[in-house]
A and B are shown apart, each in its own frame.
Chain A
């Protein structure tokens, strides 16, 4: 699971050699560790108007060092481009070009975040807003040294300082978003609130994680626990020994359960409520792959993937929506996949199931809104797991480098995005798919 190449080109002779030969030089990413500052160095807030002023004030209230104008040759932790008021494509020029020279001063692991509005309004406004999309995605590909660029899209009547706009901004600036690059997150309501303790944003919450015995699921369970949640770790009975290890490591409870059982949703609710008194978050992570070219696909490969990866989630969600115990700002986060967006040879069944997850998420969002709840998906790209370690060497090496950060993500990177979406600060974000792929070159 270790990326030997990345280690090699990050030190001594290997670094010099890679530079001379023009080989990819994946940087060590700035990842969140409890207790570390939100971001190292000052943050430049570009753009003008009430939106930019409000965001600058918010950053100041977080104790950050804020600049409204660039100081030449001063290293910057991040650049926030507030473009919420653009009405014509020409409006982009001034704020964008004013901030442009500062990209040179962006520190390793730096962050660029745009704040703009969901395309709409007059043709001219829509053009300007949609322009931000192309701008940000291209800019993210220009950044180096583990720096990333992401954007926040505000719905028409949402303020740039709405709770989830600030929540997303905090997430993007922090080390929690290390492997999220070139992505937008849409804030559609003013719901949500900033946590009392930024170090424990999930304090007091009870979270269920399926497929928690190993890999990404185990990382999600550990991350939610680190962020303050009490975790119910769920996996099939056959994985019970690994599951027990995970649960014992995070003072959670292990629930051995086949999620394809008809009563799985009810059993999840019962366990959470009986043992922990409540249920706030459900993370649908359990998934399987049964790869085969479609021409050679059989019923069992197709059927089992659809059953585990999407039908089980739909059935469990039905039980959750019917339960009176899942009505207090509940959160559902599903693990999708970039395969479901861009497609992947040999994965018609898997991609159908993961595409299904994204469809389900969009359609379920309105059903949860009534309870102040949200549902979102996270779509991982190439993540270093036991599963991807089994991919043949050459294929793996290519898959790993085919993104702006030129490396695979860690299971913890996916977990960070899920923890963010499970928190109170993401209450205004629902029906979204957030990619954790290092801006993979394939797909949207």
Chain B
């Protein structure tokens, strides 16, 4: 115990492994599954893989973007329904699509500080089992009614009801401050950066091909546990082709004046699914005879002013990554694997375009010129959200577990541990990015980059 009040030295937080259930297109295999069902299943698969039955994990953090009010303790309830010790504490976190990655960073930081020895990060989302609320008018009436004491009072309140109040208030993914859907927002950005339809389709094609190849190679054998008859992501189209993708009609940006380029093929579909990541200190992992795949080095969040149109809604990672790399003395050339979440193909390509733009680098990023170029052969090499699907809060866990395994397999490169960068954009003009490194003994975070 730090009796003298001195801060403890920071130690390593390692990724032991992960587990997710296959992601299912909304209205498919998981139509009848709740967030709690799916998160519990993902946890139980993780527990089975790593022998964590009855184990008291330091803390479990997860969350969902579309969440029922009854799920106020979603993660804790999932823990109680799992094979973990019921003495495992848990909390919910919500940061739109960055939820999953933020749980990893928050828990990793607690491990680094010595507050936790083990933790499970995760996320889940169901667009199939989405909450539907009553209208604001009906809600007010019902609440007033519960407070009324006499029959005349009640009748008076009920008389306020209008037919339109009875229509349910379904969830939508529109931005509250602009009224625009995420796709329409991205269409503005895609057009601004002149991203072609062909480039977007090519990225989508690569995503499907890379994910399919990874499945064929058995890459996901220890990252995924089947659920409800699904053994692979149901959105994956191993046999898709440039021709098929080119034949799809644009769905976003049709009223922008320029050519509409965003289709269902180069945008992620609504998806159901859950993911988990097991994090630990080196000592805990060793003490439990568990592998240490990667080290969580650092993370950074950013937000942009999309409301006034200064930047695109999903462009926050464009600012977060340069800050993160600069802090760690790194450039894009030092990164061995890029995991840039494919909310839309246009998001990834706009991000890359902004980083390659000299003017943007100077004026917006405060650099001497363009931030840099991402080697496309290192980008989303085992597929990403366009192929796997994107159950909002579950995407971060999917990416971190996948990247950790890739880094572990790569090991060292050029005499140093392989480095991986995660970038996830989120609603509200936000973005969270993270830096992971292949686990290697001896070094402490930051040592090798000085």
Q: Which residues of A contact B (CB under 8 A)?
A: 233, 237-241, 243-245, 247-248, 251-258, 261, 274-277
Q: Which residues of B contact A (CB under 8 A)?
A: 41, 44-45, 47-51, 53-54, 83, 218, 220-222, 224-227, 231, 289-291
9 contacts between A and B (CB under 8 A): A237-B224, A240-B45, A240-B225, A240-B231, A241-B41, A241-B227, A247-B51, A251-B54, A255-B222
- Starting from the known contacts A241-B226, A257-B221, 5 additional A-B residue pairs (CB-CB under 8 Å) come to A240-B226, A241-B45, A245-B44, A253-B50, A256-B225
- Which chain B residues border A275 with CB–CB below 8 Å? 51, 289-290
Within the complex, the shortest CB–CB distance from A242 to chain B, in Å, comes to 9
- Which chain A residues border B220 with CB–CB below 8 Å? 237
- Which chain A residues border B226 with CB–CB below 8 Å? 237-241
Which A-B residue pairs are the 8 nearest by beta carbons? A244-B48, A254-B48, A247-B48, A248-B83, A240-B225, A253-B51, A238-B231, A251-B53
- Which chain A residues border B54 with CB–CB below 8 Å? 251
Given contacts A237-B231, A241-B226, A276-B289, contact A258 B218 (CB under 8 A): yes
Contact B218 A261 (CB under 8 A): yes
Give chain A's interface secondary structure class: helix
- Which chain B residues border A239 with CB–CB below 8 Å? 226
A182 to B54, CA, bound (A): 43
| A244 nearest CB neighbor, chain B only | B48
Within the complex, the shortest CB–CB distance from B441 to chain A, in Å, comes to 15
A261 to B219, CA, bound (A): 13
Contact A256 B222 (CB under 8 A): yes
Within the complex, the shortest CB–CB distance from A277 to chain B, in Å, comes to 7
Most central of A253, A258, A274, A276 by chain B CB within 10 Å: A253
| B21 nearest CB neighbor, chain A only | A241
Contact A252 B289 (CB under 8 A): no
A248 to B53, CA, bound (A): 6
- Which chain A residues border B290 with CB–CB below 8 Å? 275
Contact B225 A252 (CB under 8 A): no
A132 to B44, CA, bound (A): 53
Within the complex, the shortest CB–CB distance from A234 to chain B, in Å, comes to 11
| A231 nearest CB neighbor, chain B only | B51
- Which chain B residues border A253 with CB–CB below 8 Å? 48-51
- Which chain A residues border B51 with CB–CB below 8 Å? 247, 251-253, 275
A245 to B45, CA, bound (A): 8
| B45 nearest CB neighbor, chain A only | A244
- Which chain A residues border B47 with CB–CB below 8 Å? 244, 248
- Which chain B residues border A241 with CB–CB below 8 Å? 41, 45, 225-227
- Which chain A residues border B41 with CB–CB below 8 Å? 241
Within the complex, the shortest CB–CB distance from B88 to chain A, in Å, comes to 14
Given contacts A238-B231, A241-B226, contact A274 B289 (CB under 8 A): yes
- Which chain B residues border A252 with CB–CB below 8 Å? 48, 51
| B291 nearest CB neighbor, chain A only | A274
Q: Which of B221, B225, B231 contacts A244 (CB 8 A)?
A: B225
Q: Which of A233, A240, A257, A261 contacts B224 (CB 8 A)?
A: A240
Within the complex, the shortest CB–CB distance from B424 to chain A, in Å, comes to 26
A291 to B49, CA, bound (A): 33
| B231 nearest CB neighbor, chain A only | A238
Contact A277 B289 (CB under 8 A): yes
- Which chain B residues border A244 with CB–CB below 8 Å? 44-45, 47-49, 225
Contact A248 B224 (CB under 8 A): no
A277 to B288, CA, bound (A): 11
A252 to B51, CA, bound (A): 6
- Which chain B residues border A255 with CB–CB below 8 Å? 222
Within the complex, the shortest CB–CB distance from B95 to chain A, in Å, comes to 29
A247 to B48, CA, bound (A): 6
| B41 nearest CB neighbor, chain A only | A241
A240 to B220, CA, bound (A): 12
| A275 nearest CB neighbor, chain B only | B289
- Which chain A residues border B218 with CB–CB below 8 Å? 237, 258, 261
Within the complex, the shortest CB–CB distance from B214 to chain A, in Å, comes to 13
- Which chain A residues border B53 with CB–CB below 8 Å? 247-248, 251
Q: Which of A245, A256, A277 contacts B221 (CB 8 A)?
A: A256
